[in-house]
Amino acid sequence: MLCEMSILIRHRRLSVDELFSELSRYDFIGNLGDSDKNWRENWDYIAQGYTCLKPPERDVLKAVGRSLGTSDTEGQLAMLKTNAKLLEAFRAEASGEYVSKGKLYRTCGVLAGIFAAVLII
Protein backbone atom coordinates (compact mmCIF):
# COMPACT_ATOMS: atom_id res chain seq x y z
CA MET A 1 0.00 0.00 0.00
CA LEU A 2 2.83 2.38 0.86
CA CYS A 3 4.55 1.74 -2.47
CA GLU A 4 1.33 2.44 -4.33
CA MET A 5 0.88 5.64 -2.32
CA SER A 6 4.37 6.71 -3.35
CA ILE A 7 3.65 6.06 -7.00
CA LEU A 8 0.37 7.99 -6.92
CA ILE A 9 1.93 10.93 -5.10
CA ARG A 10 4.99 11.04 -7.35
CA HIS A 11 3.34 10.67 -10.73
CA ARG A 12 -0.16 12.00 -10.27
CA ARG A 13 0.48 14.54 -7.48
CA LEU A 14 -2.68 13.47 -5.64
CA SER A 15 -3.88 15.21 -2.50
CA VAL A 16 -4.61 13.12 0.59
CA ASP A 17 -8.35 12.98 -0.15
CA GLU A 18 -7.73 11.98 -3.76
CA LEU A 19 -5.20 9.42 -2.59
CA PHE A 20 -7.70 7.84 -0.21
CA SER A 21 -10.32 7.80 -2.92
CA GLU A 22 -7.91 6.03 -5.27
CA LEU A 23 -6.84 3.49 -2.62
CA SER A 24 -10.27 2.82 -1.13
CA ARG A 25 -10.12 -0.81 -2.28
CA TYR A 26 -7.73 -1.51 0.61
CA ASP A 27 -9.68 -2.35 3.77
CA PHE A 28 -7.50 -0.08 5.87
CA ILE A 29 -8.12 2.98 3.67
CA GLY A 30 -11.75 2.08 3.04
CA ASN A 31 -12.45 2.13 6.79
CA LEU A 32 -11.07 5.65 7.30
CA GLY A 33 -14.39 7.31 6.53
CA ASP A 34 -16.47 5.03 8.75
CA SER A 35 -16.65 7.32 11.78
CA ASP A 36 -17.23 10.94 12.77
CA LYS A 37 -13.54 11.42 13.65
CA ASN A 38 -11.17 13.12 11.26
CA TRP A 39 -9.11 10.77 9.14
CA ARG A 40 -5.91 11.12 11.24
CA GLU A 41 -7.64 10.05 14.45
CA ASN A 42 -9.40 7.27 12.58
CA TRP A 43 -6.05 6.16 11.03
CA ASP A 44 -4.54 5.78 14.53
CA TYR A 45 -7.62 3.94 15.79
CA ILE A 46 -7.64 1.51 12.86
CA ALA A 47 -3.87 0.94 13.05
CA GLN A 48 -4.16 0.18 16.77
CA GLY A 49 -6.87 -2.39 15.97
CA TYR A 50 -4.59 -4.40 13.69
CA THR A 51 -3.60 -6.92 16.36
CA CYS A 52 -2.00 -9.16 13.73
CA LEU A 53 0.84 -6.62 13.64
CA LYS A 54 3.42 -6.31 16.38
CA PRO A 55 3.46 -3.00 18.31
CA PRO A 56 6.53 -1.61 16.44
CA GLU A 57 4.84 -2.36 13.12
CA ARG A 58 1.66 -0.61 14.25
CA ASP A 59 3.78 2.36 15.35
CA VAL A 60 5.25 2.64 11.85
CA LEU A 61 1.76 2.52 10.37
CA LYS A 62 0.60 5.23 12.78
CA ALA A 63 3.62 7.37 11.87
CA VAL A 64 2.58 7.23 8.23
CA GLY A 65 -0.86 8.55 9.16
CA ARG A 66 0.61 11.36 11.25
CA SER A 67 3.01 12.42 8.47
CA LEU A 68 0.82 12.01 5.41
CA GLY A 69 -0.15 15.35 3.92
CA THR A 70 2.02 17.45 6.23
CA SER A 71 4.87 18.21 3.83
CA ASP A 72 5.60 18.73 0.17
CA THR A 73 5.69 15.90 -2.35
CA GLU A 74 9.36 15.08 -1.85
CA GLY A 75 8.96 15.01 1.93
CA GLN A 76 6.02 12.64 1.68
CA LEU A 77 7.90 10.40 -0.73
CA ALA A 78 10.92 10.27 1.58
CA MET A 79 8.69 9.48 4.56
CA LEU A 80 6.89 6.69 2.67
CA LYS A 81 10.20 5.24 1.45
CA THR A 82 11.67 5.22 4.96
CA ASN A 83 8.60 3.60 6.49
CA ALA A 84 8.39 1.05 3.68
CA LYS A 85 12.01 0.07 4.41
CA LEU A 86 11.19 -0.30 8.10
CA LEU A 87 8.21 -2.52 7.32
CA GLU A 88 10.34 -4.55 4.92
CA ALA A 89 12.86 -5.13 7.72
CA PHE A 90 10.03 -6.30 9.97
CA ARG A 91 8.81 -8.61 7.21
CA ALA A 92 12.29 -10.11 6.75
CA GLU A 93 12.57 -10.64 10.51
CA ALA A 94 9.16 -12.34 10.61
CA SER A 95 10.13 -14.53 7.66
CA GLY A 96 13.27 -15.69 9.46
CA GLU A 97 11.26 -16.33 12.61
CA TYR A 98 8.74 -18.34 10.58
CA VAL A 99 11.50 -20.54 9.17
CA SER A 100 13.15 -21.22 12.52
CA LYS A 101 9.94 -21.78 14.47
CA GLY A 102 8.46 -23.79 11.61
CA LYS A 103 11.28 -26.31 11.95
CA LEU A 104 10.71 -26.48 15.69
CA TYR A 105 6.97 -27.10 15.34
CA ARG A 106 7.42 -29.70 12.63
CA THR A 107 9.98 -31.52 14.75
CA CYS A 108 7.67 -31.40 17.77
CA GLY A 109 4.85 -32.78 15.63
CA VAL A 110 6.95 -35.67 14.40
CA LEU A 111 8.13 -36.46 17.93
CA ALA A 112 4.56 -36.30 19.25
CA GLY A 113 3.49 -38.69 16.49
CA ILE A 114 6.29 -41.12 17.33
CA PHE A 115 5.42 -40.87 21.04
CA ALA A 116 1.74 -41.58 20.31
CA ALA A 117 2.72 -44.56 18.13
CA VAL A 118 4.93 -45.94 20.91
CA LEU A 119 2.10 -45.54 23.44
CA ILE A 120 -0.33 -47.36 21.16
CA ILE A 121 2.08 -50.25 20.61
Please enumerate in sequence order all residues whose Cβ is within 8 A of that of 45, keeping only pairs 6 or more positions apart, or say none. Answer: 35, 37
Q: What pLDDT score does 15 carry?
A: 83
Q: Which secondary-structure segment (H or E) carries 21?
A: helix 16-22
Domain ranges for the chain: 2-94
How far the first Cα of the chain sits from its last, in Å, is 54
The model's pLDDT over 76-104, given as tens digits with 9 standing for 90+, comes to 999 999 999 999 999 999 999 899 899 89
Q: Is pLDDT of 2 > 90?
A: no
Instruction: Write out the DSSP string of 8-19.
Output: HHHHH---HHHH
35 has pLDDT over 70: no
Task: Read off the pLDDT band of 1 (50, 70, 90).
Answer: confident
Q: How confident is the prediction for the chain on average, in pLDDT? A: 88
